Chain A
Amino acid sequence: MATFMGINLFGLFGQLLVGLINGSFYALLSLGLAIIFGLLKIINFAQGAIYMLGAFAAYLALQYFGIGYWAALIVVPLVVGLLGVLMERFLIRPIANEDHLYSLLLTFGVALVLQGMFTHMFGSSGLSYAIPDALKGGTKLPFMYLPNYRAWIIIASLIVCVGTWWMIEKTKLGAYLRAGTENPALMQAFGINVPLMVTLTFGFGVALAGFAGVMAAPVYSVSPDMGSNILIVVFAIVVIGGMGSIGGAIITGLGMGIVEGLTKYFYPEASNTVIFLVMVIVLLIKPAGLFGKEA
């Protein structure tokens, strides 16, 4: 067994990998939250429930319509994104001018309804979703065994995260989005359809959570409460990173996954709480968050 200074390298790298996987999901979810927050100034409490919905949609698509993993990876985010569009249009827009706390409460209600529905239909025990054939098996590296599907999660979510970052920071569409974040009224005056942009942005942010849900289906068990558990951690990550920058959300998400993985190896008792403890420390030292601009 490979050891280095008394550390079991197989165990360490194994937990680091788990950390990177979790971090990939944290990054995808907090990216979606940050995009929505940027334009709408609201936090979507239903983001976790939608992640759960994405996983269930993949499961149901396979069970009832024979839609496989690869098709689900495209179809589910589209369907879920459409649901987000409807949610923005008919639930969130009517209260857009009220205190933003109301929209938080509204999305919390949506999360409760979604989670309650799936608990009612499928019970609270988890369902399993098979890893697609093309990604079965694994690669033996000198210091660890790397299952292919896990490698795929890290690569795919990195591509999606970096692609989203590039789209927002480097393209014209992204420039509109950033301008809308700065001053929606002025954008409207320039002839940009801001309400449409807001709706589509919300849909995109939600679709990211749906995508994460499909990715998660083969590695975590598909259960109604998978969303709420991860969402609270993602909230802590958002507080740690601050929602000032898209890149910050991605880096903090991945970084906190790694911190969690390392904690699982060195002090497993604290692995559930370590991210919250990091949040406490960040609040003490730099209350605005690592990448935050606002006070």
Chain B
Amino acid sequence: MKISKFNIVLLGLALVAPFVFYPVLLMKVLCFALFACAFNLLLGFVGLLSFGHAVFLGTGGYVTGYLMMNTGLTPELGILAGTAAAALLGAFYGKLSVKREGIYFAMVTLALAQLMFFVFLQAPFTGGEDGLQGIPRGHLFGLIDLSDNLNMYYFVLAVFLFGFWLINRTVHSPFGQILKAIRDNEPRATSLGYNVNDYKWAAFVISAALAGLAGSTKTLVFQLASLTDVHWHMSGEVVLMTLLGGMGTIFGPVVGAAVVVGIQNFLSGGELGNYVHIIMGLIFIVCVLAFRSGIVGEIQKIVKRNFG
């Protein structure tokens, strides 16, 4: 990714943002943005709709949370372990799900995620319905106190930028080109000699690992790991964020995550709290019927039409 003026301005805004907005809300947006970007790597660049991506978010969160509570690991190691756990699960689930295509892929991933939902519900170390609460944030590298929200914010921003950079790097690499070739015409990619399922699997593992990274980080932010993060609602939410922002675009999922988190935050305070799912559902319907390119996709179209 070239460092353009646009990117420098964005980075500058991200650095001063916590002095304007509530840092915890910003951290939530960043975690979900990373989650949505990881999901978009599969949907937007390989054409695979995973309907169970929450399982990786939740697995990362539970593993990090459990280790932080019980072993006194430093946060960076806790996050690393959570990410590794999600990647491992992704390696197994990916092997299973890439055997099926299209709609079946969506159903397989959803069912596999539900399997882990019940495991987390029943396992002795997850706290069942209550989840893990009061997880310590700890000291980064044993030095920087993360219980300070501002410190935590810059750490989360660094994690997000790393994940975002990695996804960009992947998309623009020769490997990413092959992924796009598979998305656009799978039989052709096969006929060119690429083992399509291996490429899909590799993309699945990267995506699962980054979703796990987002989940681990989110767990530290909220000091909580709960069943909400592995529920199918969460899997639906990340689909919505990506669709609304613009699937297959680099910034789309970030914008989508910000909008969805913003809407939820706005609704949860007031009378309208009960309508969250109805409104999410309506946004889904409107997006699919009239707005398939998403916010960023539409903006790109306008820019191309007028300035391109």
Contacts and interface: CB of A to CB of B under 8 A. Distances in A.
Interface of A: 37, 41-43, 91, 94-95, 98, 100-106, 108-117, 119-120, 228, 232-233, 235-236, 238-239, 269, 272-273, 276-277, 279-280, 283-284, 287
Given A101-B102, A105-B284, A272 B111 contact: no
A116 B108 contact: no
Q: Which 3 A-B pairs have the closest CB atoms?
A: A109-B284, A112-B281, A116-B277
A235 B96 contact: no
B284 A106 contact: yes
Given A108-B236, A108-B284, A280 B103 contact: no
B276 interface: yes
B281 A235 contact: no
Contacts of B274: 119-120
B280 interface: yes
B169 interface: no
A283 B103 CA distance: 15
Given A112-B280, A119-B277, 7 more contacts: A101-B49, A101-B103, A101-B106, A112-B236, A115-B277, A119-B274, A273-B115
A276 B96 contact: no
9 contacts: A101-B49, A112-B236, A116-B277, A116-B280, A239-B104, A272-B118, A273-B119, A280-B112, A284-B96
A137 to B, nearest CB: 35
B109 to A, nearest CB: 10
A287 B288 contact: no
Nearest to B103: A43
B114 interface: yes
B278 interface: yes
A106 B288 contact: yes
A94 B289 contact: yes
Contact of B284 (A94, A112, A287): A112
Chain B, interface size: which category? 35 or more
Nearest to A33: B107
A102 B277 contact: no
A283 B108 contact: yes
Contact of B49 (A104, A106, A109): A104
Contact of A105 (B112, B119, B121, B243): B243
Contacts of A120: 274-275, 278
B110 A235 contact: yes
B114 A232 contact: yes
B284 A239 contact: no
Contacts of A101: 49, 102-103, 106
Nearest to B121: A272
Nearest to A229: B114
A102 B275 contact: no
Nearest to A117: B278
Contacts of A117: 278
Contact of B103 (A42, A110, A111, A287): A42
B100 A239 contact: yes
A116 B283 CA distance: 13
Contacts of B285: 91, 106, 109-110, 113
B289 A113 contact: no
Contacts of A273: 115, 118-119
A112 B288 CA distance: 14
A277 B121 CA distance: 16
Given A120-B275, A239-B108, A283 B99 contact: yes
A111 B107 contact: no
Contacts of B276: 116
A100 B105 CA distance: 12
A95 B49 CA distance: 17
Given A94-B289, A95-B288, A95-B289, A238 B107 contact: yes
B289 A106 contact: yes
A98 B293 CA distance: 13
B239 interface: yes
Nearest to A232: B114
A7 to B, nearest CB: 25
A43 B118 contact: no
B114 A113 contact: no
A249 B274 CA distance: 37
B232 interface: yes
A102 B288 contact: yes
A230 to B, nearest CB: 11
A41 B106 CA distance: 14
Nearest to A295: B101
A5 B226 CA distance: 43
Contacts of B106: 43, 101, 104
B166 interface: no
Contacts of A94: 289
Interface in B251-308: 274-278, 280-285, 287-289, 292
Nearest to B290: A94
Nearest to A273: B118
